[in-house]
Chain A
């Protein structure tokens, strides 16, 4: 099993790589779209804003390469934080005027500001929050309802169809915590920074279940 970490030019991959090494998983940091194909599963990290990330992905051939691996070759993908949001059809963060930016379109949904949902609490939603499990999906095996994970975000994934939100979290409004469709997964929280609970999520992702 080799997990490819997609390094498309934003953010910090070292924590994800280190967390996988800790559970004895071989990793491959892929920094060119042309090198996709050498891994069995992929992790798509992300920080910063949606539009910015999509510009990097579109500008360097990543979007087609990711879609080919995930849709063509059916390889599992896990998006983390903004990486999870990029799985959606579109996102408003960083888009011009009142428009939106097209996402990877791997899980139906759109990414909008938490504030736009009417949330009155302090933004960003930052810190440890517990999850409410909607479906007993493979990614959440061994993780109890109420387990805390580390979140830090100002935008949120709003599902475009039933069945894709696997777990939610409450922050004045209800937010998507885990999304999944087929072999495409996403966590709004950071498993690599969620101590032992996060490590369990990563173990589940690399197992045969996902």
Chain B
């Protein structure tokens, strides 16, 4: 049976990990490489890495850091932030990334995702979508790290990403980001129902129960979280224990023989 994944999201800026609230007020939380080593050693299911500097500056991507991360990561990881063309994707995959997350570029260049899917397969393109609630069960997509209002409705956009060839959707509520007040379950359910590809819930996890709810109440294939793992004593393996007790299939670590 396919397991529900618990995915720590690591936002990095030069050599440090950071975390904000509502995509703002960044706090430094420690160095990147040791965190990846610890998660790898603890056999985490998967990692999502986002270079927030590449997102905001228009600089070339940090391939050297990605190559360093991959040296110590024997579980799948995706890399995002500032990706705008297929050549960059090729270089990130060569550096060891398993998937790339595309957000802003999907609005600016709708053909990018299909180009990546054609060349590398749908499994390596994650359509990342950041939204704000606009009332009446509607959410609008924001690009450029939550700064630009694209005026696009979330349902319409995720269906378009799926049609272009995204293999997975990472849906983040900007309103809940960093607040640890729980996922926006209505949002996640809307996205899960809009597409037939796996959906990763993101934004707002504050307790293990939030993760259980995201899976049981919305049908998400995976749950991503950052603050909860950075700022509290809670861990991915702790989350999986509670999820298992709630009847959710989770991956057990390999016992060496």
Which residue in chain A gives the minimum CB-CB distance to B124?
A47
A67 CB to nearest chain B CB (Å): 25
User: Which residues on B sit within 8 Å (CB–CB) of A198?
Assistant: 74
Are B254 and A195 in contact (CB-based, < 8 A)? yes
Which residue in chain A gives the minimum CB-CB distance to B119?
A48
A187 CB to nearest chain B CB (Å): 15
User: Which residues on B sit within 8 Å (CB–CB) of A144?
Assistant: 255, 257
User: Which residues on A sit within 8 Å (CB–CB) of B74?
Assistant: 15, 18-19, 22, 192-196, 198-199
Number of A-B pairs whose CB atoms are under 8 Å? 111
Does A125 have its Cβ within 8 Å of any Cβ on chain B? yes
User: Which residues on B sit within 8 Å (CB–CB) of A126?
Assistant: 123, 167-168, 198, 221
Does B53 have its Cβ within 8 Å of any Cβ on chain A? no
Among the stretches B23-31, B90-98, B209-217, the one at the interface with A is B90-98
Complex CA–CA separation, A121 to B1 (angstroms): 11
Complex CA–CA separation, A199 to B93 (angstroms): 21
Are A18 and B252 in contact (CB-based, < 8 A)? no
Q: What sequence of 0s and 1s flags, for each residue 2-25 of chain A, a beta carbon within 8 Å of any chain B beta carbon? A: 000000000110110011001000
Chain B residues bordering chain A, tally (CB within 8 A)? 41
Contact of A12 among B93, B119, B253 (CB under 8 A): B93
Which residue in chain A gives the minimum CB-CB distance to B167?
A124
A174 CB to nearest chain B CB (Å): 12
User: Which residues on A sit within 8 Å (CB–CB) of B1?
Assistant: 129-130, 170
A47-B124, A129-B2 known; A123+B93 contact, CB < 8 A:
no
Complex CA–CA separation, A123 to B121 (angstroms): 13
A206 CB to nearest chain B CB (Å): 16
Are A128 and B251 in contact (CB-based, < 8 A)? yes
User: Which residues on A sit within 8 Å (CB–CB) of B94?
Assistant: 12, 14
Are B196 and A122 in contact (CB-based, < 8 A)? yes
Does A150 have its Cβ within 8 Å of any Cβ on chain B? yes
Q: 3 closest Cβ contacts across the A-B interface? A: A197-B254, A128-B251, A148-B251
Q: Provide 27 A-B residue pairs closer than 8 Å at the C-beta atoms, listed in order of the A residue.
A: A12-B94, A12-B98, A14-B95, A14-B96, A15-B70, A18-B96, A22-B74, A47-B124, A122-B196, A123-B197, A125-B2, A126-B123, A127-B221, A128-B5, A142-B257, A150-B76, A152-B123, A170-B1, A190-B76, A193-B74, A193-B75, A194-B75, A195-B43, A195-B74, A195-B254, A196-B253, A196-B256
Apart from A11-B120, A49-B121, A195-B74, list 9 A-B contacts with CB within 8 A.
A11-B93, A14-B70, A19-B74, A129-B3, A148-B251, A152-B167, A194-B74, A196-B253, A199-B74
Name A residues whose Cβ lies closer than 8 Å to a Cβ of B: 11-12, 14-15, 18-19, 22, 47-49, 82, 121-130, 142, 144, 147-148, 150, 152-154, 170-171, 190, 192-200
